[in-house]
Structure 1
């Protein structure tokens, strides 16, 4: 059996002063995004082009793969032009599916109470971010919200992290990144981000998959419990 990295592998919370958080799959349930790109959009694309939904889904999947790990993938204005569909409007039609993961507000409060700087760092397009924040009012917790378009690179690209550091002035050696995509975590690790947390259940409707490389949680309640346990154990030793 594979030995998975667990949150019990202690992350030294007292050494962290900046917390970088992904949005989709990390703070928000990725069910909305998966449903949109895999079901909702193919249905509308099939009607526009006289295809079956299955044919439309296959054609769109091939198009998605051509833009993976790039800014273009998250650029809904690009997709509106390419597909001749109003992507923001189609997203708004199913915006009731936008939802926070369990324990996200508690985690954001915990970070604030502990004096951490909080940054939202997302590949999402600014118009997508605006739609999400209309339904999940989390913006007020953060020192700054950063879309990859503002940085000029996707999070999977090393240039993203060096430029983000210049923009925000955080110390990579004292920063934590939480993300549901291991490729993003690996890139951030190679760029010097010291503490990395994998979100094992980005989509609440699908089975969790813990990381074999990084400390991994299904919800932030696990992280809070581990951080408080570590703090309590350190106080006992004083």
Structure 2
């Protein structure tokens, strides 16, 4: 595994970027799913903590990698709660990963196309954009829900090509989702990079077969870190 991931900027036109765990700290999402949602579900439904966890965790395991996993409407319907309202309760925890904003700004100055490709539901996407101003640093934003396929599936990349054409061999994908990286690589995306520490409150991840990015300052298309 390498934690230093140089990008050949001379051969790169488009940078495809994940949101949660890549540009934004995954701490918010992990805390929401592992702690906040089960706790609030127990309170709202007057359930024992263990029963509330059993309503959430087995479903999460079964749906991993499927579009339903990321679908706020699905979870609101299945759990009979307002998922977006619950996310808003801890929205103050939504934040950038180190140097992510500076990286996007540097890409803009270098005339590289910056495309957000996220599995996040559009309502969650809007919440995080409102909290961070993320959209001001991007050239396009694509939710998997717009394409009706998650990034883990090959069909996502085919549909993305129709929706927002790009040259795979001259593109980079940066994503903390290892299955999404593998799918993109199979499609022909020239460079795929993972994230060493997607959650600032958790230990670094291990992925022997994937190049992991320690910090965006390692791959700035200019020599200086600007913020």
Sort the TM-score into its range (normalised by shorter chain): over 0.9
What is the CA deviation profile of residues 6-49 of structure 1, one whole-angstrom value per residue up to 9, with x for unaligned ones?
325x4312100000000000000011011111111101111234
Give the corresponding residue for 2:68: 72
State the SS of the aligned residue for 2:141: strand
- Cα distance in 1 between the residues matched to 2:54 and 2:132: 31
TM-aligned CA deviation for residue 161 of structure 1? 0.6
Gaps of 5+ in 1: 230-238
Is this contact kept in 2: 1:5–1:211, CA < 8 A?
no
**C-alpha separation in 2, matches of 1:47 and 1:11:** 48
The two structures have a TM-score, normalised by structure 2, of 0.93
| Distance of 1:49 and 1:96 partners within structure 2 | 25
Per the alignment, in what secondary structure is the counterpart of residue 118 of structure 1?
Answer: strand
Structure 1 residue aligned with 2:3: 6
- Equivalences for 1:178-197 in 2 at 5 Å? 178-197=174-193
Q: CA deviation at 1:152?
A: 1.4
- Aligned partners of 2:106 and 2:222 also within 8 Å: no
Q: How does 1:115-134 map to 2 (within 5 A)?
A: 115-134=111-130
SS in 1 for 2:219: helix
Who wins on radius of gyration, i.e. which is larger? 1
Deviation at 1:210, TM superposition (A): 4.3
Residue 172 (1) aligns with residue 150 (2): no
Q: 1:58 & 1:82 partners in 2: Cα distance? A: 13
- The answer on 1:37 being equivalent to 2:27 is no
Deviating beyond 6 angstroms after TM superposition, the runs of 4 or more aligned structure 1 residues are: none
TM-score (norm 1): 0.89
Correspondences of 1:185-224 after superposition (within 5 Å)? 185-224=181-220
Matched, 1:58 2:54: yes
Question: Which consecutive unaligned segments of at least 5 residues does structure 2 have?
Answer: none
| SS in structure 2 at match of 1:132 | helix
Alignment pair present for 1:114 and 2:110: yes
1:6·1:217 contact (CA, 8 Å) conserved in 2? yes
In structure 1, distance between residues paired with 2:214 and 2:51: 34
Structure-2 residue corresponding to 1:85: 81
